[in-house]
A and B are shown apart, each in its own frame.
Chain A
Amino acid sequence: AMAPRRKREPALPSSLVKKIFSHYVKVPVARDAFKVVEKCVEVYFRQLSNDLEAYTLHARRKTVEEADLELLMRRQGLVTDKMPLHVLIERHLPLEHRKLLIPVAMSGNKVIPHK
């Protein structure tokens, strides 16, 4: 008999996870390997949620701020003095999101009056 269907939980569409992973990995991926990747994503979000909660509690806040994510990425070794957060943002996020995260970068588009 079939296992009872669990209540549908919010999850990233597996097609999205597949697409992103395939893009980065650049070689063919076996079907069961994708299953492993999806499992990893689940574990990742559980761990991320725990970490973010710990950071905000530590700062006596209830809201996760952008600074918490930056600190997390520093601890993960993703953000370093040589690899600032805004570079990662520019490399990986589309313009519409970059505009929201680095408004300063956009103000670099100054219109300098020509003589």
Chain B
Amino acid sequence: GRMKRAAPRSTLRNLIKRHKPQLRLAANADLLVHLNFLLFLHRLAEEARANAFENKSKTIKSEHAMVAAKVIK
């Protein structure tokens, strides 16, 4: 589908480099970083939606996202 877009590989590498300058990433490890990031957002989205639903809200509000963030940490 449309969501299966290419990973922003150099941005991902730079992001990790910013946090850990001495850390190197093997050739395709960044693709799995991207996968993990997608799965993180997926989980955050599911939790936020469940929370909005519990509060009888049809849109995701910041408080729903905040509660979701606490749950998945």
- Which residues of A line the B interface, CB within 8 A? 9-13, 16-17, 19-21, 23-30, 32-33, 35-37, 39-41, 43-46, 48-50, 52-53, 56, 62-66, 68-70, 72-73, 76, 78, 88-89, 92-97, 100-101
Q: How many A-B residue pairs have CB under 8 A?
A: 162
For the A-B complex with A10-B14, A63-B29, A93-B4 known, give 4 more contacts whose Cβ atoms are closer than 8 Å.
Answer: A13-B11, A63-B26, A66-B29, A73-B39
Task: Check B24–A94 contact: CB distance below 8 A.
Answer: no
Residue total for B at the interface (Cβ-Cβ under 8 A): 50
What are 5 sample pairs from A and B whose C-beta atoms fall under 8 A apart?
A: A10-B11, A26-B45, A48-B37, A65-B29, A93-B34
Task: Check A37–B44 contact: CB distance below 8 A.
Answer: yes
